[in-house]
Structures are given as structure tokens and as C-alpha cells.
Amino acid sequence: MSDPSAPPATRPSLLDIRGLSKSFGTLKALDGVDFTLGEGEIHALLGENGAGKSTLIKVVTGVFARDAGTVRLAGREIAPRSAKDAVDAGIATVYQEVNLLPNLSVAQNLFLGRQPTRFGVVREGEMKRRARALLFDYGLDIDVGAPLSSYSVAVQHITAIARAVDLSARVLILDEPTASLDRHEVEILFSVMRKLAERGIGIVFVSHFLDQVYEICDRVTVLRNGRLIGARDIADLPRIDLIRMMLGRELAETTHERAASQPDTAREVCVSFKGFGKQGYVAPFDLELRRGEVVGLAGLLGSGRTETARLVFGAERADSGEAKIGGKAIRLNSPRDGAGFGFGYCPEERKTEGIVADLTVRENIVLALQARRGLHRPLSRREQDEIAMRYIRMLDIRPPDPERPIGLLSGGNQQKALLARWLATSPKLLVLDEPTRGIDVGAHAEIIRLVRELCEQGLALLVISSELDEIVTYSNRVVVLRDRAHVEELKGDAVEVSSILAAIAADTAPAHEAAS
Amino acid sequence: MKASTSVAITAFVLVAGFALCALQFPNIASTRVVANLLTDNAFLGIVAAGMTFVIISGGIDLSVGSVIGFTTVFTALAIERWGIPPLAAFAMVLVLCALFGAAMGTVIHVFELPPFIVTLAGMFLARGVSFLLSTESIPITTPIYSAVSDFAIRLPGGGRLTAIAIAMLVILVLCALLLHLTRFGANVYALGGSRAATALMGIPVGPMTIRIYMLSSVLAGLAGIVFSFYTAAGYSLSAVGVELDTIAAVVIGGTLLTGGQGSVIGTFLGVLIQGMIQTYINFDGTLSSWWTKIATGVLLFVFIALQQGLMALARRSSLKPAGAKLAGAKSPEVKPAGALT
């Protein structure tokens, strides 16, 4: 534990990554990351969204070119330029969406491009025999002549793994392989993983199911904001420490001051939810959002934060409970309803769900306002210019050019333009999902300042963030989520990183059984 | 499994349709009529075999009709005006077709353009070139042509299996072997399943694409030669719109327009169904021959609807539908309500 990135002495190192860096524009997606995988080791790669996990995998598998750093496989330096290069070198990846051909038979999928042939004719019988033998090793006894699509995702995953390993892979990267599997299928997959590890294959396991990480992995490497936080043997790492590694920020960096808190009751309730929820999406919750108050949503990836936000805005339809404004029940079935009540929502997936990349900053800003006014009352060009310029000045969007396509702006400025889009509609409630994700440090501070200012102006805010320090900085109250349920609400002085961590880590055992 | 269902349905439609025709006109059920049907549709069968490869791989080739037209004109000119021996003329025109197909495949792959657009351009190009060569119909009078036209295997019942019908059958068998028994064939299906996944699995996607369009163009060239035997002439307006008849035959034969599924035998049945409709209309004598198009259109609708229905059925009965996978990706922690606190 003294040198967290050193491999355990017992295992010879197989994959050795040193100082790997990769930037997209001004954003450092990977910043000098080290990663060491031993032979026969199952190694979890953890981190919240945007931590750099997928960038790391994509660099290692040749999808992205690296900016700096070395990758060594069994002591030999490699620089794959394509997925095929990586496979040839011995690194195979199985993604959550299986990259095989659903219309071909299982046998063809296993042997495509290398089928046994005689005089140019594929020896179907021989191929099937080999395919059966191969899959038998993985505990599958299936009709390999049937199309792949007729089997469950678990079988498809194992087929993909079998193909990869049969192509002499030494490093196997499994990217969220269990996300769409049920408990039984997970067991099958795990037994396959253990068997492969015994044969000396190194496995990188990307997952956000901590229970599974503790069940199957030997070591864990945690990334945050593109930086290596540490690598540990899982046996020596209490769960709360792991969660702190994933969510916390080094104490030195926390120079936060808590927002002056007033008693909640003093503020006017903007909207309240009672028993609001949706089956299989997020458990029914009670939530009051008040004017001039920031409520933070904290929890791990997949704990139900975004789901809560979408229900609150009406982007997802609740099937239980009710929402009330001023004591009157309201209908909240679509984003249109939400916007109609003066709600605004900046989604997490800024690029796909937020901005319209090809439209200009001006067009993006006036979008929500125009939608509310309807087609028949178009904003005149003069009004549009005026609104766009006002918010560009107010939020300091750079460059201050309303006619620039928004896709060309940096992440932070895109986020500000999205904020402007909703502010232009003079909203009562703003829901911000990870507003600081993928934004460089300077803009980060500005967004946080903006959140506070908006709050002071009397807006109700519901903010999701994976950065607990950030949440603590601006939240008056924090709702902690776990396993798709609201489990705790922290107020006043209780809003601090350690208590949030404790709430997230507490009582994690049920999740295990619930998955079955 | 699903693919064979589609073919079985096509076969059923063919047999049932033929039986109905035979009930009304008993003479239809003779080797003479059947052999004529094969002869009349020989060129369509050949070009449809090539189209089957293209469509299964997820593409489309709109240029085939024009390539047939070009081939007839070029062959006729080469033999009649330039004095080239027929076999050399055939070889030349097939090489030109291969180059043409390779060029289209290259453009599609390198510039990542939709095959629809590229082959549409190819269609105009080939048709334009044939008009440049000659705007008139050029009769072919060389002795080989009449010799081949006279050749036929006599069938019991008075039918004559002509040389071009035999050529079609041989080409169809070869294509079926190529598609169903070789690595090349497996790669064609793979491309139609998912281009990206195929590339990730190490299949050279570019060369495959080029070869598939080459194959289609060469088969269209062969169809053009067969057509020139059939009409004993070269004419730049021949085979206008044949690309659409071809696509119809392929789809009626159970090949998915979205790629990934289909068979040569199905395509052959699709060609026969079109031929059967044409034959019925000839026998009836009062119907306009354009009813063939109408019947083909109706059949196409029915078959596409049928395929969609079968797909939906298969999707519902399969263990883990694609939809569930998507949902899983979006909300990975969906748990039974009992697990919620």
C-alpha cells in the first residue's frame, strides 16, 4: 500500500501503462495515468462518468491516438492504431453492446474470417464441431448452428469472449459486461472470468456495481477527472474508502465555504412531490423544492440521480405519487408540461441531449423560449439578438459571438449557453444534471458561482454532481441516493462530505440480493 | 430459420399461383411453357443473383439495368462494326463491367457514400455511354448467335431448354455455392449484419465491398450478353428499369432489403413468380401486359409486410430482444420493486 500503483509481487506484470495522457481540445481526458495489470489478475477500473475509463480503454485498444505515455504488453511496447491492431497484439475488448453479428450463426461468429475450409468451401461440420468444443470450455452447451440473435445477451457476451480469447488474447477488457445481465447470467460470466484468469489471462473489468467488484476482482484502479487516484488490492480496501476515492476530492483542494443556511421553512415552496416514482426506474420519493434553495442529489453512478431529475422535469412519466404547485396537483407527463410550469432541465449528455451543435449560440439560447411561445408567435430577429447578447454578457460566454455554431464552443461555454436557454424563459425551477462535467477548471468555478447567484435570485435549483465537494459547496440540502431510491436527506450542518459518503456506503448488502 | 421461412413462403406462393393458373389454363402446366419462362427470364435471373449478394451485404445496385443496356450495345458494335470475334468481345465487355463495378465499390467504400447514390450515378453513366456508342438498335447476325439460339435440350412434352436458360441455371447454382458455402459468402452476410462489427472482427471490409459490386456488375454484363442472344440485337434502350424488377425479385425471394439475410434460391423463386405472372397475362390475352407491374407491386407490398411481421414475431419470441439490451444500457440497475427501500 505504500506505493499504490506497484503490482503485487506475486504476479508478473502483463500490461503496463505509464504516464498516459490524452486531451480533447482544452479538456484533459487523461492526465498522466498509470495502470498495471498482472498475469491472471482481474482488475477493476472504476470511476464516475467522465473519469477517463473509456478514454483509457480506447487509447489502449487503438481507437484514439495517445498524446503521451507508454503502453507495454508483456514488456514489449505497443502502439495499436486500430481495434484490429490491438487484437493482433493480444488485447481484446468486449463491449456492453456485443460487437458480433446477430444474423450469423454462433459458429460463424466464432470463426468468421478463419473458418476451416477445403477447396475454398467452408467445412460447416468441422466448424460447428470446433465451435461446440470451444464453448463447452466456457460451460455452454448450445446449438452453435442457430443465429446468435436467438440467444441471450449473456451467451452473446461469452461468445464474444470465446472468440477474443481464441484469437490468443492475453489481455481481455470487459466494458460494463454485466449491465444487462441478470444475477444468474452474471454468475456464469464470473465463472468464465475466473477460469480465464487461472489460465493467466489478465482481465480489466469496468463496472459500476461495487458488489461485483468486491466479488470478482483482485485489484482496483480508480480514476477521477482523467487522473489516477490510486490502485489498491481490493482485499485491503474498505468500501467507504473506495467510494471516497471515486467521489471525494483531496482535502487540500477543498476551499469551499458553505452557503449561509436559513431555516427551510422560511422559504416559499416552489414544487413538492409526494410518493413520486416509477416502477423499475426510481423508487417513490418525497421532495420539496423551495425558492432560493439548492438541493443537491448525491450518489454513485446508476443510483437514480438522473432518473430523479428526469421525473421532476417530466422527461419521464411517473407512475405513482403526485406533484403539487401551490397545493394544487399538476400533470407532469412530458418535458412540455415541465417547461410549461417554468421548469428548466440541463441534461447530463450535453452534446446529445442539450445543445443543437449546428445551430448558432443565438438559436440555441432562444430555443426554449420560442418553444414556449409556440410557432405562431415567432421571436423577431431583433428580440433574438437582444436576448442572446444579454445572456452572453451576463454569463460571460466566450467568444461573445452569437452567430457562431455552438458546437465550436468549449464545454464550459456550451453549458453556459444551455443555462441561458432556460434563464431566458425566466424559470422557477432549474434542474442541472452534472453541470460541471467535462469542463475545464476555470469554467468550473464560474458555473458554481452562477449556481449560487441564481439561487440568491430566488430560483429553486436541483443539482446533480459526482463531485461531493462541489455539492457541499452550493447545496442547502442534499438528498442521497442508493440503488435507485432516496435513502437520506441531509440538512444544515449535516451537509458535509463525510456524512454523504457514509450515507452512500451504508448498508450495501441488500443490493447484492436484490440483483438476483 | 427465419430465412428459410421466407423462402418457404415464396415457394408456396409460386406453387399455389402456378396451380391456380393451371386450373384456369391447363396448358400452362407443360414443359414447353415452363422452359419458355426460363428462357424469357434468363437475363433477369442472372442479374438478380448478383443483386442478391449486394442486398444481403446491406447495399443496393441501381446500375444493373444500364449495364445490361451498355453490354448489348457494346457487344453488337464490337461484333458487327469492329469485326471482333464474339468470344473476344464478350471477354472485353466483361472486363469493362468488372472495372465499372470495382470503381463503384471503391467510391462507396473510400468516400463512405451511400450505395444508392453511387450506383444511381453509375446507372446514368452506363446508360449515357451506351447512347454515345449508338442510339439505334444494331442487329447481330453473326452465325454463332443463330447457332446458340438454335441449340436446346428437348424435354419430354415438347419443351426446349435453351442455351441461355441453361446458362442462367448454371450461374445460379454457382452463385448459390459461392454465397452459402464459402468464406466470401459468410463475409457478405456479415457485412449486412453490421459493417462496424465486421470490421472489428478483422474482415477486410473495403476489398469485400469492391468485390461484391464487381460481382454484381459482371453478372449484369453476363445478363447483357444473354439478353443480346435473346433479342439478337444491341440497343441502348434495352433493359430500362430492369434494376427495379431485379430488386423486386430479390425481395420477393425473402432477402431483407436491410441486409444480412437472404438466399439465391429465394431470388430464383422470385424471378419465377414474376415470370409466372407474365405468362398468365399472355395466356389470358385480354389483359394489358402492364398488369405484370401491378401484380408485382402488390406482391412486393405483401412480402415486405410479411417479412416485417415475421421479424416482429421472432423478436418477441427470442430470449433477449434488442430492445431490452438498450433499456439495460440506459438503466443498468433496474431492480424489482421489492428491493427498494
Domain ranges of chain A: 268-342+427-516, 355-426
d(CA A397, CA A420): 10
| C-beta separation of A84 from B205 below 8 A | no
Collapsing DSSP to helix, strand or coil, A404 comes out as coil
Q: Give yes or no for residue A251 having a pLDDT over 80.
A: no
Instruction: Work out the number of other CB atoms within 10 angstroms of the CB of residue B313.
Output: 12
Which grid cell sits at A329?
A: 396537483
d(CA B161, CA A32): 75
Q: Measured between alpha carbons, how far is A130 from A138 in angstroms, rounded to an integer? A: 13
CA distance A255 to A146: 61
Q: Choose among B193, B261, B333: nearest Cβ to A302.
A: B333
A268-342+427-516 topology per CATH: Rossmann fold (3.40.50)
Q: What is the DSSP letter of A301?
A: T
Q: What is the pLDDT of residue A197?
A: 92
- B9, B254 in Cβ contact below 8 A? yes
Residue pLDDT, tens place only, B254-293:
898 889 999 999 999 999 998 988 888 888 888 787 887 8
Q: Which residue has the higher pLDDT, A433 or B336?
A: A433
Classified by CATH at the fold level, domain B2-276 comes out as ABC transporter involved in vitamin B12 uptake, BtuC (1.10.3470)
The full DSSP string for B258-290 is TSS---HHHHHHHHHHHHHHHHHHHHH-SS-TT
Residues 6+ apart with CB under 8 A from A35: A5, A15, A16, A17, A20, A45, A56, A221, A228, A231
Q: Which of A70-79, B75-84, B163-172 has the lowest mean pLDDT?
A: A70-79
pLDDT at B250: 94
**Residue A161 scores a pLDDT above 80:** yes
B chain contacts of residue A122, beta-carbon cutoff 8 Å: 181-183, 186
Q: How many Cα atoms are found within 13 Å in the side-chain-facing hemisphere of A250? A: 8
pLDDT at A53: 86
Element containing residue A37 per DSSP (H, E): strand A27-38
For chain B, the structural domain boundaries read: 2-276
Phi-psi region of B218 (alpha: psi -120 to 50; beta: other; left: phi over 0): alpha
Distance CA A357, CA A351 (A): 7
Phi/psi of residue A64, each to 5°? Answer: -110, 150
CA distance A47 to A54: 10
B337 min Cα distance to partner chain A (Å): 6
Which are the contacts of A248, defined by CB distance < 8 A and separation ≥ 6?
A468, A469, A497, A501
Cα distance between residue B83 and residue B12, in whole Å: 49
Torsion of the alpha carbons at A310, A312, A315 and A321, rounded to the nearest 10: 110
Q: How far apart are CA B90 and CA B77, in angstroms?
A: 12
Sign, CA torsion A371/A373/A375/A378: negative
Q: What residues contact A504, with CB distance under 8 A and at least 6 apart?
A: A243, A247, A298, A299, A300, A303, A480, A482
| pLDDT (mean) for B172-194 | 95
Which residue would you say has higher pLDDT here, A363 or A6?
A: A363
Q: Is A179 on the interface with B (CB under 8 A)?
A: yes
User: 3-state SS of A73-122?
Assistant: ECCEECCCCCHHHHHHHCEEEECCCCCCCCCCEHHHHHHCCCCCEECCEE
B120 CA: distance to closest CA in chain A (Å): 28
Q: CA A387, A392, A395: angle at the middle one, nearest 5?
A: 115
DSSP per residue, B107-151: HHHHTT--HHHHHHHHHHHHHHHHHHH-SS-EE---HHHHHHHH-
| Cis peptide bond upstream of A399, omega within 30 | yes
Higher pLDDT, A251 or A114: A114
Output the pLDDT for position A258.
54
CA distance B131 to B256: 34
Judging contacts by C-beta atoms under 8 Å, the chain A residues touching residue B201 are 99-101, 112-113, 163
Question: What average pLDDT does range A73-97 have in this prediction?
Answer: 84
Ramachandran region of residue A336, left (φ > 0), alpha (ψ -120 to 50) or beta?
alpha
Alpha-carbon dihedral sign for residues A188, A189, A194, A195: positive
Q: How far apart are CA A33 and CA A17, in angstroms?
A: 8
pLDDT score for B334:
32
Question: What pLDDT, on the 0 to 100 scale, is given for residue A263?
Answer: 54
- pLDDT-derived band of residue A261, with 50, 70 and 90 as boundaries? low
Closest Cα in chain A, distance from residue B152 (Å) = 32
**Average of per-residue pLDDT across A175-186:** 79
Query: According to the model, what pLDDT value does residue A4 have?
Result: 47
* Minimal Cβ distance to B181: which of A121, A152, A153: A121
A125 to chain B, any CB pair closer than 8 A? The answer is no
Nearest 10 degrees: Cα torsion A386, A388, A394, A396: -140
Residue of B nearest to A284 (CA): B340
pLDDT band at A29 (very low <50, low <70, confident <90, very high): confident
| For residue A513, pLDDT beyond 80 | no
Is the separation of the CB atoms in A455 and A461 below 8 Å?
yes
Q: Closest Cα to residue A491, out of A200, A276, A258?
A: A258
The percent of residues above 90 in pLDDT, for chain A, comes to: 22
Query: How do beta strands A429-433 and A460-464 pair?
Result: parallel
Amino acid at A4: P
Query: Hey, of A88, A95, A98, A112, which one would you mutate to test binding to chain B, going by the most B CBs within 10 A of its CB?
Result: A112
Residue A516 has pLDDT above 70, yes or no: no
d(CA B47, CA B217): 8
Q: Does A115 touch chain B (CB under 8 A)?
A: yes
| Cα A280-A281-A286 angle, rounded to 5 deg | 110
Task: Decide if B193 and A102 are in contact by the 8 Å CB cutoff.
Answer: yes
pLDDT for residue B91: 96
Cell numbers standing for residue B129: 455511354
CB contacts under 8 A, A 202-261 vs B, are 208-209
Confirm if A346 and A352 have CB atoms less than 8 A apart: no
Q: Which of residues 467-486 of A touch B (CB under 8 A)?
A: 482-485
CA distance A176 to chain B (A): 9
Cα–Cα dist A148/A105, whole Å: 5
Nearest alpha-carbon partner for B333 in A175, A179, A298: A179
Distant-in-sequence, close-in-space partners of B335: CB < 8 Å, separation ≥ 6? A280, A483, A484, A514, A515
Report the DSSP beta bridge partners of residue A202.
A171
**Could you tell me the sign of the dihedral formed by the alpha carbons of A191, A192, A193, A199, in that order?**
positive
Point out which residues pair with A288 in neighbouring strands: A272
C-alpha cell at A216: 470478482
Q: What is the tens place of the pLDDT at every residue in B309-338?
A: 776 776 665 443 333 333 333 333 333 333
For residues A356 and A393, the answer to whether their CB atoms sit within 8 Å is no
Give mean pLDDT, residues B231-250.
92
Q: In this structure, are residues A259 and A492 in contact, taking their beta carbons and an 8 Å threshold?
A: no
Contact B339 A483 (CB under 8 A): yes
CA separation for the pair A418, B308 (Å, rounded): 41
From chain A, pick out residues whose CB is under 8 angstroms from the CB of B2.
147
Question: How many CA atoms are closer than 13 Å to the CA of A365, on its beta-carbon side?
Answer: 31
In chain A, residues with a C-beta closer than 8 Å to the C-beta of B332 are 176, 179-180, 208, 302
Burial-class residue B81 by CB neighbours within 10 Å (0-12, 13-18, 19+).
Answer: exposed
Closest CA to A156 of A208, A110, A202, A216: A110
Option in B201, B318, B331 nearest A149 (CB): B318
Share of chain A above pLDDT 70, in %: 91
Residue A435 scores a pLDDT above 50: yes
Residues above pLDDT 70, as percent of chain B: 91
CB–CB contact B200 A304 (8 Å)? no
**Percent helix, strand and coil across chain B, each to the nearest 5:** 75, 5, 25
ipTM of the predicted assembly exceeds 0.90:
no
pLDDT of residue B263: 94
Whether A84 contacts chain B with CB within 8 A: yes
Q: What is the mean pLDDT of residues A65-85?
A: 87
Which residues does residue A203 pair with via DSSP β-bridges, in sequence order? A42, A172
Q: What is the number of alpha carbons within 13 Å of residue A288 lying toward its C-beta?
A: 12
Instruction: Give the separation between CA A216 and CA A214, rounded to whole angstroms.
Output: 6
Mean pLDDT of chain B: 87
* Record: contact A117-B183, CB cut-off 8 A: yes
- A118-153 pLDDT, tens digit per residue, is 888 889 899 999 999 999 888 888 899 999 988 888
CB-CB neighbors (< 8 A) of B322 in chain A: 102, 149
Q: Tell me if residue A233 falls in helix, strand or coil.
A: strand
Q: What pLDDT is recorded for position A27?
A: 74
Best mean pLDDT range from A329-333, A450-454, A507-511: A329-333
DSSP state of A360: B
Q: How far apart are the first and last CA of chain B?
A: 45
Look at residue A396 and tell me whether its pLDDT is greater than 60.
yes
Q: How far is B173 from chain A (nearest CA, A)?
A: 14
* Nearest Cβ partner for A281 among B318, B325, B331: B331
Angle, helices A411-423/A381-394, rounded to nearest 10 degrees: 120
For A449, residues 6+ apart whose C-beta sits below 8 A from its C-beta are none
Q: Taking CB atoms and an 8 Å limit, are B182 and A511 in contact across chains? A: no
Q: Reply yes or no on whether the pLDDT at B24 is more than 70.
A: yes
Q: Give the nearest chain B residue to A507 (CA atoms).
A: B341
Q: Which of A415, A289, A277, A283 is nearest to A341 (CA)?
A: A289
